[in-house]
Amino acid sequence: MDTFGVIGPGAVGSVIGESLHTSGYQVTFLGRKAGEVYIERASASETAAFPVEAISEAETVFDYLFITVKGTQLEGFMPYLDKLTHENTVCILCQNGYGQLDKFHIPNAYQAVVYISGQKKEQVVTHFRDRILILPENPVTKKLKEVIAASDLDIRLSPDYRYEVWYKLLVNLAINSVTALSRNTALILEEEKIQLLCKRLIQEGVAIAVAEGIHFQEGITEEIMRIYAGYPPYMGTSMYYDIIAGKTMETAYIQGYLYEKSQTYGLDTPCLDAVYSLLLASEMRG
């Protein structure tokens, strides 16, 4: 029987682990410390509990590893990766942003575009919606999809994977920047100047995508603005929650990734350059 591991039993990782566990797969939740993680939903009265093993103590070698720590937490588990993998282990990195895979030196590592919405507070994960992971289509990911077909994890293999990556980057770019920098929730979208800033950020992101050979349909900016308009005013974003909690944000893999690309292509992206600089400045400590 294939062995599955989830490194990082947080919002995304716990939902992936739960999907596999409840369908009878052999899955281990690997955290910084041993303990338990609980998953709750507004729609269900029961809370599910799952045991978490300390990654430093783990002795299993896994066939499939879902890596669901934040981009800022990659260095923490890297020392354990060798003991948890064999030469054919498939690693699925489940994170926002892009560029992190360059840090992995194992042959079968792929990054998923994640559509699982949840939040972890203490040891409790609230799962809001979705269980979707979008992956590039190749023989390894096709096999993974077949192997876990009995679970309710929705693995989608995309022939146009880079489009999916860039679409999510653009969705994350504007709303994460404005909510983190204002330290405020989606409520700020009621301000027209913030709407305008979001549109400009998205347009700059589209221009970078075009330079990378990714072409979006006309009206992409309005489409993403409509997605934002559907957010409830009290909703935060991951970078907003990180900054108000004093945690390091995933700036390097969202705004930073786009900024580097903009520089490479010599593009004029004043809004991106400004928000990226301010995000970096907001994390400077004396």
Q: Contact between 108 and ligand NDP (CB under 6 A)?
A: no
* Min separation Cβ 96 and ligand NDP, Å: 3
Question: Rounded to whole angstroms, how far apart are CA atoms 226 and 260?
Answer: 28
* Min separation Cβ 254 and ligand NDP, Å: 8
Q: Contact between 9 and ligand NDP (CB under 6 A)?
A: yes
Contact residues for 59 (Cβ-Cβ < 8 A; gap 6+)? 83
User: Is 80 within 8 Å of 239 (Cβ atoms)?
Assistant: no
Which is closer to ligand NDP, CB of 116 or CB of 169?
Answer: 116
Which is closer to ligand NDP, CB of 38 or CB of 267?
Answer: 38
234 torsion bin: left (phi>0), alpha (psi -120 to 50), beta (else): alpha
User: Is 32 within 8 Å of 76 (Cβ atoms)?
Assistant: yes
Q: Contact between 31 and ligand NDP (CB under 6 A)?
A: yes
User: Is 262 within 8 Å of 210 (Cβ atoms)?
Assistant: no
Q: Contact between 255 and ligand NDP (CB under 6 A)?
A: no
Q: Contact between 71 and ligand NDP (CB under 6 A)?
A: yes
- For the stretch 166-205, what's the b/e string if a residue is b when 16 or more beta carbons lie within 10 angstroms of its beta carbon? bbbbbbbbbbbbbbbbeebbbbbbeeeebbebbbbbbbbb
Mark the segment that binds ligand NDP (CB under 6 A) among 114-122, 150-158, 192-200, 222-230. 114-122
CA 230, 231, 237: angle at the middle one, nearest 5? 145
Residue nearest to ligand NDP (CB): 10
Which of 19, 28, 89, 96 forms a contact with ligand NDP (CB under 6 A)? 96
Which is closer to ligand NDP, CB of 25 or CB of 66?
Answer: 66
Q: Contact between 179 and ligand NDP (CB under 6 A)?
A: no
Mark the segment that binds ligand NDP (CB under 6 A) among 42-50, 93-101, 148-156, 202-210. 93-101
User: Is 253 within 8 Å of 100 (Cβ atoms)?
Assistant: yes
Which is closer to ligand NDP, CB of 71 or CB of 136?
Answer: 71
Question: Rounded to whole angstroms, how far apart are CA atoms 107 and 183?
Answer: 40
Closest by CA position to 276, among listed 210, 201, 225, 212: 201
Which of 5, 21, 110, 118 forms a contact with ligand NDP (CB under 6 A)? 118
Binding site for ligand NDP (CB under 6 A): 7-13, 30-32, 55, 68-71, 73, 76-77, 94-96, 114, 116-120, 238, 250
